[in-house]
Structure 1
Amino acid sequence: MPSGLVALLDDIAVIARAASASIDDIAVAAGKAGSKTAGVVIDDAAVTPSYVTGLSPARELPIIWKITKGSLKNKLLILLPGAILLSEFLPQAIIWLLMLGGAFLCYEGAEKVLEKLGLAKHGATLEDEIVDPVAFENERVGGAIRTDLILSAEIMAITLAALELDVWWERGLALALVAIIVTVAVYGAVAVIVKIDDVGLYLTKQADAWKQSIGQFLLRFVPKLLTALSIIGTIAMLWVGGGIIVHGTHEVGFHALYDVIHGAEGVVAAAAGALGGVAGWLTYAALSGVVGLVLGAVIAVVLHKVLGVGAKEAH
């Protein structure tokens, strides 16, 4: 009996060590894979503040919290199970779903550009009289969560492609870990960004002159920061969406866009010398953005002009 007990304890120890090694492998894999999503994470952080711009300061954090919960649901309840199932049973479908999401990002970004150019606006905007603040807030939150779904899908897809884990549940844990960390990081940063003006207002009421100066600077800086982030968010949607389309079409056998854009990237990189890496990447990003803008504009025209979905005249 004692020998049997010792053998059992040895077996338990072996299992425990294996489990510990698996957890370590998952953590390392999640860290490596998550680092490759940095570009999309920045895009996500840039897009989100636009959804609280112009609304009551008292509603900023509650809105961000609603979007955060929606983002976690997107990643953990929708995208995570779908990613695991697709990777196991239908991996060839992933690229088509990614391109569908990319097309949506192109449409969202192009629509914002078209509106800035004075064309028809769609849905409620801050220039409109807000008759029902609750409904308007819900519309903004819904729009943010829909956009987050696409960006989250890209994050999860990049992570899944970078993972070197053969067991499905290990991939699932790594994806869940990345999803939680990214969501907390993105929306935590957004919460800080949108509350900087409150910090500035607090500092202007302090007795010390240097604190008042910093407060005045922050109050002047925040509106410019939010405007810049809104512009960056639009550019990011076009760049990421266009990039998904470029790579997706290449993966399914249509190589023209990919070859032209990466050919231009290579030429610019070679001509730029020591700055070749940066110049080449900027060329790729810019041309992907052009693809995104053209495709998004076509989708917007078809939806609003041909099909008449949600169009109203600008004023």
Structure 2
Amino acid sequence: MSGGLVALLDDIAVIARAAAASVDDIAAAAGRAGTKTIGVVVDDAAVTPRYVTGLSPARELPIIAKIAKGSLRNKLVFILPAVLLLSEFLPSAITYVLMAGGTYLAFEGAEKVYEAFSGGHHTESAAEDLADLSSEEHEQKMVGGAIRTDLILSAEIMAIALAEVADQPLVSRALILIVVALAITALVYGVVALIVKMDDVGLKLAQSGRPGSAALGRGMVKAMPYVLNALSVIGTAAMLWVGGHIIVDGLAKLGFPELEHLIHDVAVSAAHAVPAAHTFVEWLVGTVGSGLFGLLVGFSVVALLHLLPLRRNAH
């Protein structure tokens, strides 16, 4: 009997070691996959603060929490099953799905540029604008818009992560993507919460009574409106960059690599001209190239949805 018990304990120990190794493998793979998505994570963190700009400070964290929940739902309920099924049965379709998402991102970014130059959404009075900003309807609209934009960015994050673990078994693939989804969502919306509440931190420091802390706090309070405005611009640029990059990459995978090669060649040539900042210049020029193409695609969609209907109405 004791021999049987010892054998059972040995079996349990072997199973436990195998399970621990499996957990370690999943964690390591999730870490590698998550690292590959860092560019899109930065874009996501830059895009989101613009959805709470101008809203009541008391509603900022609750709204971010709603967006974070929506983002996690996007990743786990909609995107995860879809990418797993596609990767298992129709892997070639992922490229088309991503390109459709990239086109939507480019359209969103280009529409913001179009509205900035055309004066769109500024016809109401200031009182009406303030009333609208404080309304529950406006809050729901902002949260919905943020979650829709997040759907595209989350799809890109999950697709990039999937590409890094495509050789894993289905169950391991699913577990790794779940870990990535949880970690990335916590990272992005934790950073967003810190950004949008930085002015409150500055106000507390300004009221602390300590000269050094008070000066720092006053500087933070004064700087935050500029920081949030800058993040809004960065967020728009990020949508154009990511959208353009997705489309350019998709075209290359579909057998049309000319645009990708052109952007790469221009970026490399520019980098050679500045050896001291070779890597940064190559990244910057490549990013600008993708962003300009994203702007072109986005404006094409804006023209179809906005300008052409206006022309027809004029006739």
The answer for the alignment partner of 1:283 in structure 2 is: 285
The answer for the alignment partner of 1:56 in structure 2 is: 56
1:117 & 1:21 partners in 2: Cα distance?
56
**What aligned pairs does 1:193-272 form with structure 2 within 5 A after superposition?**
193-272=195-274
The answer for the alignment partner of 1:97 in structure 2 is: 97
For residue 269 of structure 1, what is the amino acid of its counterpart? A
For residue 79 of structure 1, what is the amino acid of its counterpart? I
Q: Which moved more, 1:116-125 or 1:20-29?
A: 116-125
Assess, with a 3 A threshold, how the Cα gap between structure 1 residues 123 and 80 changes in structure 2: closer, same or farther. farther
- Could you tell me how far 1:228 is from its partner in structure 2? 0.8
2:162 & 2:124 partners in 1: Cα distance?
36
The answer for the alignment partner of 1:172 in structure 2 is: 174
After superposition, give the CA deviation of every residue in 1:163-191 in whole Å (9 maximum; x if it has no partner). 26521111111111111111111111111
- Could you tell me how far 1:74 is from its partner in structure 2? 0.7
2:21 & 2:216 partners in 1: Cα distance?
49
The answer for the alignment partner of 2:10 in structure 1 is: 10
1:25 & 1:106 partners in 2: Cα distance?
36
Task: Give 1 or 2: higher helix fraction.
Answer: 2
The answer for the alignment partner of 1:152 in structure 2 is: 154
Give the % identical residues: 53
- Could you tell me how far 1:122 is from its partner in structure 2? 9.9
2:43 & 2:301 partners in 1: Cα distance?
22
Assess, with a 3 A threshold, how the Cα gap between structure 1 residues 128 and 44 changes in structure 2: closer, same or farther. farther
Q: Which moved more, 1:98-107 or 1:157-166?
A: 157-166
* Count of residues in correspondence between the two structures: 309
Kindly indicate whether the alpha-carbon contact (under 8 Å) linking 1:29 and 1:164 is maintained by their aligned counterparts in 2. Answer: no
After superposition, give the CA deviation of every residue in 1:14-43 in whole Å (9 maximum; x if it has no partner). 222222111111000111111111111111
For residue 37 of structure 1, what is the amino acid of its counterpart? T
- 1:166 aligned counterpart, secondary structure: coil
The reply on whether 1:74 has 2:78 as its aligned counterpart is no
The answer for the alignment partner of 2:88 in structure 1 is: 88
Assess, with a 3 A threshold, how the Cα gap between structure 1 residues 217 and 120 changes in structure 2: closer, same or farther. closer
1:125 & 1:18 partners in 2: Cα distance?
66
**What TM-score, normalized by structure 1, do the two folds share?**
0.92
Assess, with a 3 A threshold, how the Cα gap between structure 1 residues 121 and 228 changes in structure 2: closer, same or farther. same
The answer for the alignment partner of 2:46 in structure 1 is: 46
- Say which of 139, 159, 165 aligns to 1:163: 165
For residue 86 of structure 2, what is the amino acid of its counterpart? L
Assess, with a 3 A threshold, how the Cα gap between structure 1 residues 106 and 9 changes in structure 2: closer, same or farther. same
Assess, with a 3 A threshold, how the Cα gap between structure 1 residues 19 and 262 changes in structure 2: closer, same or farther. same
For residue 13 of structure 1, what is the amino acid of its counterpart? A
Which consecutive unaligned segments of at least 5 residues does structure 1 have? Answer: none
The answer for the alignment partner of 1:35 in structure 2 is: 35
1:76 & 1:99 partners in 2: Cα distance?
21
1:271 & 1:217 partners in 2: Cα distance?
38
Which consecutive unaligned segments of at least 5 residues does structure 2 have? Answer: none
- 1:91 aligned counterpart, secondary structure: coil
Assess, with a 3 A threshold, how the Cα gap between structure 1 residues 172 and 122 changes in structure 2: closer, same or farther. farther
For residue 17 of structure 1, what is the amino acid of its counterpart? R
- Say which of 303, 306, 309 aligns to 1:304: 306
After superposition, give the CA deviation of every residue in 1:132-183 in whole Å (9 maximum; x if it has no partner). 7100000000000001111111111111111265211111111111111111
Assess, with a 3 A threshold, how the Cα gap between structure 1 residues 249 and 122 changes in structure 2: closer, same or farther. farther
- Could you tell me how far 1:50 is from its partner in structure 2? 0.4
- Could you tell me how far 1:126 is from its partner in structure 2? 8.6
After superposition, give the CA deviation of every residue in 1:255-292 in whole Å (9 maximum; x if it has no partner). 22112111212222233224222111111100000000
- Could you tell me how far 1:197 is from its partner in structure 2? 1.0
**What TM-score, normalized by structure 2, do the two folds share?**
0.92
The reply on whether 1:137 has 2:163 as its aligned counterpart is no
Kindly indicate whether the alpha-carbon contact (under 8 Å) linking 1:54 and 1:126 is maintained by their aligned counterparts in 2. Answer: no
For residue 102 of structure 1, what is the amino acid of its counterpart? G
2:123 & 2:156 partners in 1: Cα distance?
26
Assess, with a 3 A threshold, how the Cα gap between structure 1 residues 69 and 285 changes in structure 2: closer, same or farther. same
- 1:117 aligned counterpart, secondary structure: helix
For residue 135 of structure 1, what is the amino acid of its counterpart? E
- Could you tell me how far 1:216 is from its partner in structure 2? 1.3
2:188 & 2:157 partners in 1: Cα distance?
12
Kindly indicate whether the alpha-carbon contact (under 8 Å) linking 1:30 and 1:177 is maintained by their aligned counterparts in 2. Answer: yes
- Could you tell me how far 1:56 is from its partner in structure 2? 0.7
